[in-house]
Amino acid sequence: MTKTELKTFFNSWKKVKEIYRKYCPENRTHFPEPLQKEIIKSFYDTSLKIDNSGSYDFVGNVELKSSTTVNGCNPFSPNQHNCSRILYMEITDHITVYDIAVSDVSIINARALNNDINITLGDYKTNAIKTVEVI
């Protein structure tokens, strides 16, 4: 995924959020693991580190943590499908939470390709300082 494609993907979120308001009380679902890795590589390929022993799967400006267990879970675990994953991405002084359902990625990408969706990342900024430590 190129940075342009990634930007297009993120820019697809705003118009779609009405759909999620209807089906998801918190207007959030989850990024699939492969997409998380692509996002991280797109922005932080040179500093990407993988640590499967701790709560966080990636260390750097981006950290991934499970939302279903206190200590997170290993992305390579056989039961990773049981983990609700949330991607925390550091942007300026904030941590922004982005999450998209696996089943919805193809729909969002298709809409993005048709240029009928426009999103701003700021719509999903949240103060997650108390729940995740950014290294």
62-100 residue pLDDT tens: 333 333 333 444 333 444 343 333 333 333 233 334 444
Instruction: Work out the end-to-end distance of the chain between its first and last CA atoms, rounded to an integer number of angstroms.
Output: 25
pLDDT averaged over the chain? 43
Residues in a beta bridge with 58: 50
DSSP string, 16-73: HHHHHHHH-TTS-----HHHHHHHHHHHHGGG-EE-TTSS-SEESSEEEEESSSTT--
pTM summary value: 0.21
Cα–Cα distance for residue pair 12/22, rounded to 1 Å: 17
Residues in a beta bridge with 126: 95
Average pLDDT over every residue of 42-71: 41
Confidence band (pLDDT; 50, 70, 90) for 122?
Answer: very low
Does residue 9 carry a pLDDT above 50? yes
What Å distances lie between residue 132 and 33, 86, 87, 88, CA to CA? Answer: 18, 11, 11, 8
Q: Residue 19: how many CB atoms within 10 A of its CB? A: 13
Per-residue pLDDT, 37: 55
Cα–Cα distance for residue pair 24/135, rounded to 1 Å: 31
Cα–Cα distance for residue pair 126/32, rounded to 1 Å: 20
Structural domain boundaries in the chain = 3-126
